[in-house]
A and B are shown apart, each in its own frame.
Chain A
Amino acid sequence: MQTQSSRWLGHGIYLVIMAILISGVYFAGQKIDYTWHWERLWPYIINTESHDIVAVTDGTAVVDASGRLSITPDYGDDPQIIERYDTLVSRNGDLIFQGDTVARIDGWRFGPIAEGLWVTIKISFISLIFAVLLGVMFGLMRVAHGQVWRNLAVTYVEVIRGTPLLVQIFIVYFFIGTVFDLDRFTAGVAALSIFTGAYVAEIVRAGIQSVPVGQMEAARSLGMNYVQAMAYVIMPQAIKRTLPPLAGQFINLIKDSSLVSVISITDLTKAGREVVSGSFAPFEVWFTVAALYLVVTGGLSLVIQRLEKRLSASD
């Protein structure tokens, strides 16, 4: 039995150890003469500066009576019309060269890190849905009666688990992506779902096999066919048992999604790399990127814990 006081003592010691670790990181930074510039990071997350609107071709600026700005190009093309701006930089009749700032727009925008985070969430979420579909399908095949199904499922699982995700991403992007003309994002989602699906299939198989044989017999003896027994009796129990390992797999999926940056998808990791070269604050950037991954994975853990609690009503 743990007493109340020994628990508080435990918490206290834990805090001391954490404080030592964190100050260790701080002094390590000092030792290599690193100056921390956390404030440099903000524009890369949320940019509040006004941003420039530039001319796309050489031409002449035209500001009409209602204040609308357009640029009439020197050669033939349609004029570039600027619908919305806050400050005018050029004047009516100005000669404009390509790349010139003609106006500015105020207000905030998401910076590259926030946009990268959004891409990571999007790609993980879509991949998660497909991974579950693939995993349930192959998990069911793995326990099916037909030998063909079982062989197919075993092949899928073994091939995917036995090769590195990084290699799979390259194969999906450069081979399958070329054959079927996939864009980067689709290729990334495909590689991640196929990879995670293999692990989900094994988890689903284990879940189904952990349901006692008597459950299937009881369902069949009531006249249910195999599909009904699976859908109404076996799977609801199997899913409950598989939630904890599935949670782990989904968290892996979010982290593995960082690998899609190798096919130039600007996810959180690639955004981090780009921001490092612009901000010259590598430590701050990578700590921030890590923290953002932690927030996403932590959020997912929380959702699954809630779900587990709800499903445990029958325990």
Chain B
Amino acid sequence: MIDHLTQPDSQILIKANKVNKIFPNGCHALKDVSLDIQRGEVVVIIGPSGSGKSTFLRTLNQLESISSGNILLDQVDLTDTRTDINAVRTEVGMVFQSFNLFPHKTALGNVMLAPMKVLNQSKEEAKQGARDLLYRVGLADRMNNYPSRLSGGQQQRVAIARSLAMKPKALLFDEPTSALDPEMVGEVLDVMKELAREGMTMVVVTHEMGFAREVADRVVFMEEGELVLEETPERFFHSEHPRLQRFLGQVL
């Protein structure tokens, strides 16, 4: 198990430092959240709804701007106005709760689009890459299907392949299995476990405690916009922390 406090800085891929987010309506969604994420590490964030965990995840690729603090990706400050945010986003993939596949494109088209338009790959190159990725997530026989013809689990796997096509340094998962029927959760988690084994840096917001226990290097508990606790899974699930106890009592 990696102890993040003793690692040199270059091992840190994402560094969030005292991040605050106040929405225009005055809601203080993130309060001084600091978190370092190592290369190759899998960090799982759990917490009750409205705890700011999704908001925090979305700040990591600047889908959500922050009010104060800073976020470094590979030592590049995302909050610096001179940073090319589109270039940063190619390095941090995101998988959404509601998949957000492009409905007017086939599975293959979904995966090919960004490599062609953003990385300027040729059509053949993008197609080859997309085929390989869809094969990897077990959808070799579904490439030419439109999203409307795919099950939720299949759509989410296409979405993962779509993110991987940009060869990101890290992947962010925003409750990737919450919109799925129970029997499809497994196939998506399997793909995620496979990615973790291959050494992909992952930040996962989820309610899947089993996944956290099995795959995470570190588990983070958030509540009311605060990062309450970060621990290894073993210590996390045996923690006596009263706020965590209350939450786990509700979900388990």
Query: Footprint of B on A, CB under 8 Å?
Result: 212, 214-215, 217-225, 228, 232-233, 236-237, 240, 313-315
Contact A215 B63 (CB under 8 A): no
Q: Which residue of B lies closest to A233 (CB)?
A: B102
Partner of B117, one of A215, A218, A228, A313: A228
Q: For the complex, what is the distance from the CA of A313 to the CA of B147, rounded to whole Å?
A: 11
Which residues of chain B come closer than 8 Å to A233, judged between CB atoms? 102, 113
Measured between C-beta atoms, what is the minimum distance from B43 to chain A in Å?
18
Q: For the complex, what is the distance from the CA of A215 to the CA of B163, rounded to whole Å?
A: 14
Q: For the complex, what is the distance from the CA of A209 to the CA of B114, rounded to whole Å?
A: 22
Q: Which residue of A lies closest to B89 (CB)?
A: A223
Contact A214:B98 (CB < 8 A) given known A220-B89, A221-B93, A225-B86: yes
Contact B146 A228 (CB under 8 A): no
List the 9 shortest-distance A-B pairs measured between CB atoms, nearest first.
Answer: A223-B90, A218-B100, A222-B114, A214-B100, A221-B94, A314-B146, A223-B89, A223-B118, A236-B104
Q: Name 12 extra pairs, CB < 8 A, besides A217-B96, A221-B92, A314-B105.
A: A214-B100, A215-B100, A218-B94, A219-B102, A219-B114, A221-B94, A222-B118, A223-B87, A223-B118, A224-B118, A228-B117, A228-B118
Partner of A223, one of B86, B102, B105, B106: B86
Q: Which residue of B lies closest to A211 (CB)?
A: B103
Q: For the complex, what is the distance from the CA of A233 to the CA of B118, rounded to whole Å?
A: 13
Contact A224 B114 (CB under 8 A): yes
Contact A232 B113 (CB under 8 A): yes
Contact A221 B98 (CB under 8 A): no
Contact B104 A314 (CB under 8 A): yes
Q: Which residue of A lies closest to B147 (CB)?
A: A314
* Size of the chain B interface, CB-CB below 8 angstroms: 29
- List 23 contacting pairs A-B, 8 Å CB cutoff, sorted by A: A215-B102, A217-B63, A217-B94, A217-B100, A218-B100, A218-B102, A221-B61, A221-B89, A221-B92, A222-B89, A222-B93, A222-B163, A222-B166, A223-B86, A233-B102, A233-B113, A236-B104, A237-B102, A240-B104, A313-B146, A314-B103, A314-B104, A314-B147
Which residues of chain A come closer than 8 Å to B61, judged between CB atoms? 221
Which residue, of A219, A233, A314, has the highest number of chain B Cβ atoms within 10 A? A314
Measured between C-beta atoms, what is the minimum distance from B78 to chain A in Å?
13
Q: For the complex, what is the distance from the CA of A123 to the CA of B113, rounded to whole Å?
A: 38
Measured between C-beta atoms, what is the minimum distance from A184 to chain B in Å?
42
Which residues of chain A come closer than 8 Å to B87, judged between CB atoms? 223
Contact B114 A223 (CB under 8 A): yes
Q: Which residue of A lies closest to B61 (CB)?
A: A221
Contact A221 B63 (CB under 8 A): yes
Measured between C-beta atoms, what is the minimum distance from B29 to chain A in Å?
17
Q: For the complex, what is the distance from the CA of A215 to the CA of B98, rounded to whole Å?
A: 10
Is there a chain A Cβ closer than 8 Å to B162's Cβ? yes
Which residues of chain B come closer than 8 Å to A220, judged between CB atoms? 63, 86, 89
Which residues of chain B come closer than 8 Å to A224, judged between CB atoms? 86, 114, 117-118
Which residues of chain A come closer than 8 Å to B147, judged between CB atoms? 314
Q: For the complex, what is the distance from the CA of A236 to the CA of B89, rounded to whole Å?
A: 23
Which residues of chain A come closer than 8 Å to B86, judged between CB atoms? 220, 223-225
Q: For the complex, what is the distance from the CA of A212 to the CA of B104, rounded to whole Å?
A: 13
Contact B98 A315 (CB under 8 A): no
Which residue, of A217, A218, A222, A313, has the highest number of chain B Cβ atoms within 10 A? A222
Q: For the complex, what is the distance from the CA of A248 to the CA of B124, rounded to whole Å?
A: 40
Q: For the complex, what is the distance from the CA of A236 to the CA of B113, rounded to whole Å?
A: 13
Q: For the complex, what is the distance from the CA of A217 to the CA of B105, rounded to whole Å?
A: 16
Q: For the complex, what is the distance from the CA of A125 to the CA of B218, rounded to whole Å?
A: 63
Which residue, of B61, B94, B104, has the highest number of chain A Cβ atoms within 10 A? B104
Which residues of chain A come closer than 8 Å to B49, judged between CB atoms? none
Q: For the complex, what is the distance from the CA of A246 to the CA of B93, rounded to whole Å?
A: 37
Which residue, of B92, B94, B114, has the highest number of chain A Cβ atoms within 10 A? B114
Which residues of chain B come closer than 8 Å to A212, judged between CB atoms? 98, 100
Measured between C-beta atoms, what is the minimum distance from A175 to chain B in Å?
43
Is there a chain A Cβ closer than 8 Å to B178's Cβ? no
Q: For the complex, what is the distance from the CA of A203 to the CA of B100, rounded to whole Å?
A: 24
Contact A222:B90 (CB < 8 A) given known A217-B63, A314-B148: yes
Q: For the complex, what is the distance from the CA of A221 to the CA of B162, rounded to whole Å?
A: 11
Which residues of chain A come closer than 8 Å to B117, judged between CB atoms? 224, 228, 232
Which residue, of A218, A233, A314, A315, has the highest number of chain B Cβ atoms within 10 A? A218
Contact B96 A214 (CB under 8 A): yes
Q: Which residue of B lies closest to A240 (CB)?
A: B104
Contact with A along B122-141 (1 / 0, CB 8 A): 00000000000000000000
Which residues of chain B come closer than 8 Å to A236, judged between CB atoms? 104
Q: For the complex, what is the distance from the CA of A117 to the CA of B147, rounded to whole Å?
A: 45
Measured between C-beta atoms, what is the minimum distance from A148 to chain B in Å?
20
Which residues of chain B come closer than 8 Å to A315, judged between CB atoms? 146, 148
